[in-house]
Amino acid sequence: MTETTAEGTGTAFAAARRQNSIARKVRTITKLVIHVALIGGGFAVLIPFFWMLSSSLKPDWEIFQIPPTWIPEEPLWQNYAIVLTGERPDAEGSRAGQGWSFLGFMWNTAYVTFWVLVGRLLTASLAAYGFARLRFPGRNVLFITMLTTMMVPGHVTMIPLYIIFKNLNTLDTYWPLALPVWFGGGAFFIFLLRQFINSIPSDYDDAARIDGCSWLGVYWRIILPMIKPALGAVAIFSFMASWNDFMGPLIYLSSMDKYTISIGLHFFRSVASPAARPLWNLVMAASLVAMVPPLLLFFFAQRYYIQGIVVSGIKG
């Protein structure tokens, strides 16, 4: 009697164990399938970068070679020297002395990006502080007005802005690209910062006020240091937007020595290539150079970055 029970429970255990191990196997296989899918997707994402890198190191003839080479037979690092300095070591088809160099374009882009960034951080945070913390008649109406402007696409104001800057005699300068940003830095960023400021208890302001700090002192000494993470997110997005901006420079910049990198790339492919068709190896080297600063920023500030995206909903 007791024996049979023991035997019964024994087989039940065995069955359960078998079922358990089947479940575990299913789980392992599912995991494996998921990994395979993710790795496949990862390759699909990275192959374009790899192809660009590989092409940038090939001589021109190798790019159109059939069958294609995945890794160039002899990597031509000098392609990068050519696009960065604008000078070709060999005299044939030389564009030396024509005034373009991607180092120059990068410098121009960095210059614009910097002034846009400073203007945006200062004025957007100031406006955000005003909307979040200070009480004045008409605040809510103005705030809603500001939110409404987020819905207006920039293309509607593009032509009148062009006329304004033409009348100000600032075409072919960086003023049209940077100046508007110094006036509030964009409704979206004000909104983002205001939300962040609202999440800080106002006891800090009150304490500082009681200690005799002025309202602007509260902004400078209390609020700004406390919203650093949000300012970081704003800075990242501002950097990306300026660095990659194409339409603005396309409309406003006309002389080559002022080109930003995106417009420099366009110019380089369509005009400056020494051959009748674009020299893809050089175009790819230049494009990769243009991608390096955003990529570096992403890899080094990744935590900030992902946080910023999640908080703000900007996809990059």
**86 vs 290, beta carbon nearer another protein:** 290
Judged by CB under 8 A, does residue 113 bind another protein? no
* 81 near another protein, rule: CB under 8 A: no
Per CB under 8 A, 163 contacts another protein:
yes
Our finding on whether 83 is near another protein (CB under 8 A) is no
Taking the least distance from each CB to another protein, the nearer of 6 and 151 is 151
Using CB under 8 A as the binding rule, the residues of this chain from 229 to 268 that contact another protein are 240, 243-247, 250-251, 261-263, 265-266
Does 109 bind another protein (CB under 8 A)? Our answer is no
Angle at 290 between CA 289 and CA 293, to 5 degrees: 90
| Secondary structure letter of residue 13 according to DSSP | H
Instruction: Select from 76, 85, 56, 251 the least CA-distant residue to 170.
Output: 251
Q: Which residue has the tokens 């909903």?
A: 313
Q: Is 51 an interacting residue with respect to another protein (CB under 8 A)?
A: yes
Binding status of residue 277 toward another protein by CB under 8 A = no
Q: Both tokens of residue 291? A: 């991608």
Residues 143-162 close enough to bind another protein by CB under 8 A: 145-146, 149, 151-153, 155-162
Span of 15-23, 60-68, 83-91, 95-103 interacting with another protein by CB under 8 A = 60-68
User: Does residue 193 touch another protein according to CB under 8 A?
Assistant: no
CA atoms of 139 and 56, how far apart (whole Å)? 54
Name residues contacting another protein, limited to 206-225 (CB under 8 A): 206, 214-216, 219
Give the total of residues touching another protein (CB under 8 A): 99
Does residue 47 interact with another protein by CB under 8 A? yes
Which residue, 202, 189, 219, 132, is CA-closest to 311? 189
Quickly count helices (H) and strands (E) in the chain.
16, 0
The burial class, CB within 10 Å (0-12 / 13-18 / 19+), for 255 is exposed
Contact 96/86 with Cβ under 8 angstroms? yes
